[in-house]
Structure 1
Amino acid sequence: MLLGPTGAGKSTVLGRLALNDIDAGRGVLLIDPKTDLVNDLLARIPEQRTGDVVVIDPTSPTPIGLNPLATSPRSREQVPEMIADTVLATFKNLFADAWGVRTEEILTASLLTLARTPGATLVDLPLLLTNPAFRCRIIANAPDPLGTGQFWSKYQSLSEAQRLQWIAPVLNKLQPFLIRPHLRATLGQTNPSFDLADLLTKRRIVLVSLNKGILGSESARLLGSLIVGQLWPLILSRAALPPERRHIISVFINEVQDYLALPTDLADALTQSRSLGVAFHLAHQYRAQLPSRLKAAIDTNAHNKIIFGSSAADAFEIARLAPELEAIDFQLLPRYSIYARTIHHGHTNPWCQARTLPMSPATGDPASLRAASAARYGQDARQVEEQLLKRLGLASTPATTTDTTVPTGTNDSAPAIRTTASSNTTGSVTIGRRPKTKRGTESR
């Protein structure tokens, strides 16, 4: 665990730790919300490992795809039920302030139905709820009369107005899929060329570049959380391997509070990961960012701790974990200085003070490694969009016959979602600004 404010040097320490693992031939996953750290690493990848580099950058014109709903024959844990639960946990974490029973019911049935449908993606989710023809086709291919079938029977029996009232909160939560072409191009690939399982089996170096300035904060959170969620069942699948074959995989998450959302107790997850040979390196700026459960899980299970100069509130809390130090010790740390507590061969070392080192000199060209990664695993974003429209039955479809505005809740300035259907019953979902109206209520 690394704790420190912006500019303290956390990214440099994360980068040096990641490079140590890369030099050692380990598989590495790094999630960077600012892209600078990814570029720093790309400039320093050892020549013998350049072929292992995978750069996931949704803003690329040829992005590498991710399909969190895809099952993998390599993992018995990647069954539709666990996949749906993992994605649901991601949504629940992202939308915790506007989450209700109805939203959970709709998303549970929808995600499970899509997870059971070969080739389905998260981009299909809005159309599943708004387009009768598409919905009937998907449901027919994933029958479950005693489970999701019960929900869809009830949903189909609703009037159009009732259905729109049900799904308005859900559709509003899915806006990142609808208005961010970069996200569609990444999550709309039915069969991505890169399999995240290769991180564990082939020791790939997976660098996730989430540019919040282009993607938007919520879209970046969504994508990063989905990647961590997709990794979780792959980690669990290592239980089938004998301990001697569980080579170390290192996962680095900068701004951990935005991306760590799993369908299980986080303390148990960190403990299990360690036993299965996966080492998490979690960085954040201040402790108030962390939900209480995540904070407790990190305090208990992150045995190695690196603390930069801290605020009075954080220093007071951290001092309770360091009997030999006082809060003022953490407050007075100069820039690039740390207090650290480490474990070596099972032995806990006392807290010590140290200075961090700068990154080593750059030796490579980040642009060439990005290009090589995109050529190996990426797909042209325009072609992905065209294939998506064709697969969903939306290509060259005039959408003029009906226009029903979905109520969006109590925020008068919130985007209104309109479902439009043409004469061939194929619908689409668009987003616009809703005119000022009388305040209403939103059922969750």
Structure 2
Amino acid sequence: MNTADLGLPVDVPSTALFTDHYELTMLQAALKAGTAGRRSVFEVFTRRLPNGRRYGVVAGTGRVLDAVENFRFDSGVLGFLRERAIVDDETLDWLADYRFSGDIWGYPEGEVYFPGSPIMRVEGSFAECVLLETVILSILNHDSAIAAAASRMSSAAGDRPLIEMGARRTHELSAVAAARAAYVGGFASTSDLAAGFRYNIPTVGTSAHAFTLLHDQERDAFQAQVDSMGRGTTLLVDTYDVAEAVRTAVEIAGPELGAVRIDSGDLLLVAHRVRQQLDELGARNTKIIVTSDLDEYAIASLAAAPVDAYGVGTQLVTGSGHPTSSMVYKLVARAETADPRSPLKPVAKKSSSGKTSIGGRKWAARRVDEYGVAEAEVVGTGPVPVELADRQLLVELVKGGEVVGRESLDVARERHAAVRAGLPLSATQLSRGEPVLPTEYV
């Protein structure tokens, strides 16, 4: 797997340094103590959803699998660690041969989750599992936050397509990951070519205000664009006077004009005026695309407007106010010795600050009512109840160090649409509320 598939520059040889310093110092100490080889189970979960959110969306699973495959300590990485004296020679020797050989289970990408859901479970020796903590959390926290925002926006948009266009509002590598997560959450396309190249997401785009300003007259800009891209192109009509621009656009492209884009003003009012004007000019099939700092609330407010598509940037790539999912990666079980036959013992952090966790290797299932609508997220550490056996959520992603759960983005995108449709209707409400499903521990 090429590191470019992670949204990384092609000259980055591995993902091994996408970690925190203390992961390696813990490894060194555990090697010296003789505990590094103890079989361990780590789980990724969140204690709470962002304030007011009804559900979370799992995204980034595919990128995690790529990251695990590329987690290698090559000569350049080892040289850096040696030069900085981050770990001792014994640990460097161990790292030189590092290959994750354990198992990873997780909610499939596009699935929804709730507080306490064991979103991902990583099993192997303590040493090999602890090193993956930071990179796994980095990917899942970011991508799941973007996908959750995208899901809310796509729900608000209904059947109208959404265009991801936030590349200029975030880090260049985050932009690629954000476009991928947005596609999982329901967006139809992206303006980011790197995302299109790496993940085969449809890309769209025509022109910005600068193209209009380049020309002596708006008419000249429209003519140049139509000559280049054809009558089905999208013309940006709010550089100067919208009504005049729409009139000019139809004069040049005719009723075959593909779309007009509105990027400022009172979008509800302007969209109605533009639709009326287009119809009067005979351009009844010309679509209206709106942009301009949209979020799920603005999209919902335009539900009654004659809008055909939305372009979303800043609010999407920042998680619409919640740029992280607050996921954690906790040790929940470990063997008492390095003997692979040693039984697992549940362990958990105890704290009075609200950061407690529940020990034990967990399974999860979603109970549905008589109509097939989800009614509870059930999490347990013992035998799975018979009635929930075919409702289990975790799937095998990595077996014995080999990726077995890779799938296409389209599969994840379709899964999310289906799963969201199976939640109670209140899941799509934008008003603040509690998680739409309770988490029950058994």
TM-score norm. by structure 1 comes to: 0.22
Richer in helix (by share)? 1
Which structure has the greater CA radius of gyration?
2
Higher relative CO (CA 8 A, sep ≥ 6), structure 1 or 2? 1
Q: What's the TM-score once normalised by structure 2's chain length?
A: 0.22
